[in-house]
Chains A and B, each alone.
Chain A
Amino acid sequence: MKPAASRRKRKEKYRQIAHTADLGLRIWGDSREELFENAGAALTAVLTDRRRLRRQKTAEILLVAPDLEALLVAWLNYLLYLYDVDAFLGREFKVLELTPQRLAARARGETYDPDRHVSRTAVKAATYHHLEIAKRNGRWQATVILDL
């Protein structure tokens, strides 16, 4: 691989991958913590233009799951829950604690306002289909398929 291309790839936080009926997310992070933070941002970017969200509200989130992959699905689905119930969308995410079974995190963002925010694609859920977290070339990489 050419050096320029690899440098570009290093900086990449997430990418949307095509799936006939649904949508896949490929997420990267230098650490598992960063991987989860980037996953939150990737999800918000599917729903709206993240840059237009202000950091007005904070949500504290604590989740448990049987393993790291299930924890990633639980994290994304909890963010969707917050959106459904409080119309809250996170712009920035900070992982406070992460073990393979437990996640404590903080999301900063605001209440979705259809007059100010862009409505992109609605997401029903993050699924376990083809779910994967692995270390590749020194970085953490995750793949999640979203049901739209």
Chain B
Amino acid sequence: MASQVKLRQVDDYRWEIPREGKMRTRGLIFTSQKMMAKIQEDQSLQQVANVATLPGIEGASLAMPDIHWGYGFPIGGVAAFNLDEGVVSPGGVGYDINCGVRLLRTNLQRLEVEPRIEELVNALFSNIPSGLGSRRKDLKLTVPTLHQVMRLGAGWAVKNGYGHSQDLEHIEARGQIPGADPELVSDFAKNRGKDQLGTLGSGNHFVEVGYVLEVYDAKLAAALGLHKDQVTVIVHTGSRGLGHQVCDDYIKVMLKASAKYGIELPDRQLCCAPLSSPEGQRYLGAMAAAANFAFANRQMITHWVRESFEQVLQMGPKDLGLELVYDVAHNIAKMEEHLVNGKKKKLCVHRKGATRAFPPGHPETPAAYQQTGQPVLIPGDMGRYSFVLVGTEQALTETFGSTCHGAGREMSRHAALKVAKGRNIVRELAAQGIVVRGAGRATVDEEIPEAYKDVEAVVAVAHGAGISKKVAKLKPLGVIKG
């Protein structure tokens, strides 16, 4: 299904969908000529135009270079809404509320870890439940505890012995979105969440041990505590079944609310409610609760990552130096202040498959990164590489401080399975020096590197357009997949 949307190239990295019909603003897509050809093959541009029809949208309906066809909002979509007429949409956040990425650095060099990587991957695999419907048998939360998790986020995990208080200084919003109200989360959602805290889940979620392959900016890298050949760990997961249920519950609420407030929808999945309405406020409270659950989830997994390293390498925490570089959310709606036509305005910024990229000196950039800008973590596919970038002033003015979030799929899962058929992907990756353990063969096959856009091309656009700045490139050594 090819896209029928009108398109105008602005420069090497920017394309515009002119305002037309029911659109209230233009669409602006950050990509390259080469990637645009692929984007036009599906309906993601139509989705950018659809988002532009929603009430109270400020600036353009934005799409990051890893844009691909989602449901309702495109993946890689960013949209900001004002508090007067603007809306909040669960579909603009996605089912996996606060799906996100965190990066840990170590005091280890690649050569120290490479010979032990298989053991390390096995330890991670047995210490962190992963795969279809993964749950923890050792940790079933009571409702009052679950409420604490949803209120306090990563802070709850730290308070209960999972990690250190310094970790919190290196997490978006310190691992706790304000305004979380567990009472607004359904019992269904709580039932799904009670034994899923500290689990990886399935699909594209992973824990990856890698190393710094290349440094682009030595000064920035040093400020982030990164150097060539240093071993790193990436954790990618979200709010599990609890978040999925919150999204589903509130889509039902929003379908009714859209009709109630007379909001015309080009696609039911875009259903929303005014930010000022009780429905909108309730969703924000429940979403924050789910987001905090996700922050706690990544924090607990970090604890087990540290334990796994200690077990296998027989080293103490000081020698390992497994410290948090940063943790970013890439499926979230945040209340933020931005300059609109020279005036400070409070907005609700939806980032669905997009990462915040705040510049140096911004009050929400953590103290440790006031000079560098907020770290941005872009995982690639399991065979190639991932990137560390920092936020920029350009992002703040052009994209409400947002950038890409990953490689973005290029191939459907079906096509990926077809390509993987008859091949042993685990062995192929092993031959390249990457040890992969997945709970299911299908997950590994669906996630073959060829199924993804080359994350290097995605990052090149973000860097070239100036909405973030390249710092380092990481290469995987071992991966556990859900």
- Whether both chains belong to one complex is answered with yes
Show the binding face of A for B, using Cβ within 8 Å.
16, 18-23, 47-48, 65-66, 70, 74, 77, 80-81, 83-85, 87, 112, 114, 118-122, 124-125, 127-131, 145, 147-148
Contact among A18, A87, A120 with B440 in the assembled complex (CB-CB below 8 Å): A120
Cβ-closest chain B residue relative to A117: B132
Assuming A112-B133, A119-B440, is B94 touching A147 (CB within 8 A)? yes
Given contacts A18-B413, A21-B409, A118-B440, 17 further A-B contacts (CB under 8 A): A19-B69, A20-B409, A21-B69, A21-B70, A21-B408, A21-B412, A23-B412, A47-B132, A81-B241, A87-B133, A114-B131, A122-B443, A127-B71, A128-B72, A129-B267, A129-B269, A131-B268
Instruction: Evaluate contact between B413 and A23: CB separation under 8 angstroms.
Output: yes
Instruction: Evaluate contact between B244 and A125: CB separation under 8 angstroms.
Output: yes
How many interface residues does B have (CB within 8 Å)?
A: 50
Assuming A22-B71, A128-B271, is B192 touching A84 (CB within 8 A)? yes
Tell me the complex Cα distance, A81–B256, Å: 22
Residues of A within 8 A of B440 (CB): 118-120
Show the binding face of B for A, using Cβ within 8 Å.
42, 68-72, 75, 91, 94-96, 131-133, 135, 188, 191-192, 196, 201-203, 241, 244-245, 247-248, 251-252, 255-256, 267-269, 271, 408-415, 439-443, 446, 482
> From residue B125, how far is it (CB to closest CB) to chain A in Å?
13
> From residue B436, how far is it (CB to closest CB) to chain A in Å?
15
Residues of A within 8 A of B91 (CB): 129
Instruction: Evaluate contact between B201 and A122: CB separation under 8 angstroms.
Output: yes
Tell me the complex Cα distance, A14–B241, Å: 26
Residues of B within 8 A of A127 (CB): 71-72, 95, 269
Residues of A within 8 A of B94 (CB): 147
Instruction: Evaluate contact between A119 and B188: CB separation under 8 angstroms.
Output: no
Instruction: Evaluate contact between B71 and A114: CB separation under 8 angstroms.
Output: no
> From residue A110, how far is it (CB to closest CB) to chain B in Å?
13
Tell me the complex Cα distance, A20–B482, Å: 20
Residues of A within 8 A of B42 (CB): 20
Instruction: Evaluate contact between A85 and B267: CB separation under 8 angstroms.
Output: no
Assuming A114-B439, A122-B132, A125-B247, is B415 touching A18 (CB within 8 A)? yes
Cβ-closest chain A residue relative to B271: A128
Contact among B96, B414, B446 with A124 in the assembled complex (CB-CB below 8 Å): B96
> From residue B175, how far is it (CB to closest CB) to chain A in Å?
23
Instruction: Evaluate contact between A148 and B191: CB separation under 8 angstroms.
Output: no
Residues of A within 8 A of B482 (CB): 122
Instruction: Evaluate contact between A128 and B244: CB separation under 8 angstroms.
Output: no
Instruction: Evaluate contact between A122 and B71: CB separation under 8 angstroms.
Output: no
Assuming A18-B412, A66-B256, is B203 touching A148 (CB within 8 A)? yes
Tell me the complex Cα distance, A147–B414, Å: 14
> From residue B98, how far is it (CB to closest CB) to chain A in Å?
13
Ordered by A's residue number, 22 sampled pairs between the chains whose C-beta atoms are within 8 Å are A19-B412, A23-B412, A70-B255, A81-B191, A81-B241, A81-B245, A84-B133, A84-B191, A84-B196, A112-B132, A119-B439, A121-B202, A121-B413, A121-B443, A122-B443, A124-B244, A125-B244, A127-B95, A128-B268, A128-B269, A129-B269, A147-B71
Instruction: Evaluate contact between A83 and B133: CB separation under 8 angstroms.
Output: yes
Contact among B241, B252, B442 with A70 in the assembled complex (CB-CB below 8 Å): B252
Instruction: Evaluate contact between B412 and A122: CB separation under 8 angstroms.
Output: no
Tell me the complex Cα distance, A129–B269, Å: 5
Tell me the complex Cα distance, A124–B202, Å: 9
Contact among A16, A87, A120 with B442 in the assembled complex (CB-CB below 8 Å): A120
Q: Please provide the 4 A-B residue pairs with the shortest distance between their CB atoms, ordered closest to farther.
A: A129-B71, A122-B202, A119-B440, A18-B412
Tell me the complex Cα distance, A124–B251, Å: 14
> From residue A18, how far is it (CB to closest CB) to chain B in Å?
4
Instruction: Evaluate contact between A122 and B192: CB separation under 8 angstroms.
Output: no
> From residue B47, how far is it (CB to closest CB) to chain A in Å?
9
Tell me the complex Cα distance, A131–B241, Å: 22
Instruction: Evaluate contact between A124 and B203: CB separation under 8 angstroms.
Output: yes
Contact among A22, A23, A120, A125 with B248 in the assembled complex (CB-CB below 8 Å): A125
Cβ-closest chain B residue relative to A89: B133
> From residue A142, how far is it (CB to closest CB) to chain B in Å?
14
Contact among A16, A87, A118, A130 with B414 in the assembled complex (CB-CB below 8 Å): A16
Residues of B within 8 A of A130 (CB): 71, 267
Cβ-closest chain A residue relative to B192: A84
> From residue A115, how far is it (CB to closest CB) to chain B in Å?
12
Tell me the complex Cα distance, A47–B482, Å: 13
Contact among B68, B71, B271, B439 with A145 in the assembled complex (CB-CB below 8 Å): B71
Cβ-closest chain A residue relative to B194: A85
Tell me the complex Cα distance, A70–B446, Å: 29
Residues of A within 8 A of B269 (CB): 127-129
> From residue A120, how far is it (CB to closest CB) to chain B in Å?
5
Residues of A within 8 A of B268 (CB): 128-129, 131
Residues of A within 8 A of B410 (CB): 20
Instruction: Evaluate contact between B414 and A18: CB separation under 8 angstroms.
Output: yes
> From residue B445, how far is it (CB to closest CB) to chain A in Å?
10
Residue of B72, B95, B256, B415 ringed by the most chain A CB atoms within 10 A: B95
> From residue A148, how far is it (CB to closest CB) to chain B in Å?
6
> From residue B237, how far is it (CB to closest CB) to chain A in Å?
12
Residues of B within 8 A of A16 (CB): 414
> From residue A51, how far is it (CB to closest CB) to chain B in Å?
16
Instruction: Evaluate contact between B255 and A20: CB separation under 8 angstroms.
Output: no
Residues of B within 8 A of A70 (CB): 252, 255
